[in-house]
Amino acid sequence: MNKKGVHFIIASLIIAICITIMPGFANAYTVKKGDSFWKIAKQHGVSVNQLIQTNNYSSSLLYPGATLTIPATISESEKELMARLVHAEAKGEPYAGKVAVATVILNRVDHKNFPNSIKGVIHETYSNGAIHAFSPVANGEINKRADAEAKRAVEEAIVFRGQGQGSIYFYNPNTAVSNWIYDTTTTIKIGNHVFAK
């Protein structure tokens, strides 16, 4: 075999190897000294629970040099949509209340009775589209820019996804118009909002 043939075979093998292994590298992270599941989850925009479960860890002990698989992340456009809803729904509420509103969105995505996407949950309607699940969608407030605190609250809710008390509703008892909401189980009260499941 001549030199050109050998080079062609070597180049073909390198390309084949790269195609085979590259997808795994896109989702891989090598643990560094000082890393924690919390820090890695926050850096990659995934939940701590997802990170632990994806990598089959039974403890929070990490060793530098270990390779972790990073689970699928929430897109920037989804985070922005969540932040706009949090900003509209929880303006003037404590930071913890903003995190809790973002958590309700994620809990609904994970719950069998709600749409399985962030956009689906936020834009969900009832009664043939006449009633929106969230009033800022109906009144256009969701189209306003989110502030930095709402964006930070979304990031924190993502990292804590799957933890907490499983709230899938929130309401202000002073302004709630649907009586069925009072039949839900209260999980926590933060500021003017009651969170429930």
Q: Where are the domains of the chain?
A: 24-73, 76-196
Give the separation between CA 106 and CA 108, rounded to whole angstroms.
Answer: 5
pTM for the full predicted model: 0.71
The torsion angles phi and psi of 148, rounded to 5 degrees, stand at -60, -35
Q: Which pLDDT score, from 0 to 100, does residue 15 have?
A: 44
Whole-number Å distance between alpha carbons of 197 and 83: 22
d(CA 180, CA 126): 14
The stretch 91-103 carries a mean pLDDT of 95
pLDDT at 26 over 60: no
The answer, yes or no, to whether residue 173 has pLDDT greater than 90, is no
Q: Give, in order, the Cα–Cα distances in Å from 190 to each of 10, 92, 166.
A: 63, 12, 15
Q: What local confidence, expressed as pLDDT, does residue 9 receive?
A: 53
3-class DSSP state of 125? strand
Tell me the backbone φ, ψ of residue 156, rounded to 5 degrees. Answer: -65, -40
Confidence band, pLDDT 50/70/90 cuts, at residue 119: very high
Q: Do domains 24-73 and 76-196 have the same CATH topology?
A: no
Which CATH architecture is the domain 24-73 placed in? Answer: Roll (3.10)
Please state which architecture CATH assigns to domain 76-196: Orthogonal Bundle (1.10)
* Tens digits of residue pLDDT in 39-85: 998 888 888 888 888 899 988 889 999 999 888 778 899 999 999 99
pLDDT at 2: 62
**Cβ(184)–Cβ(71) below 8 Å:** no
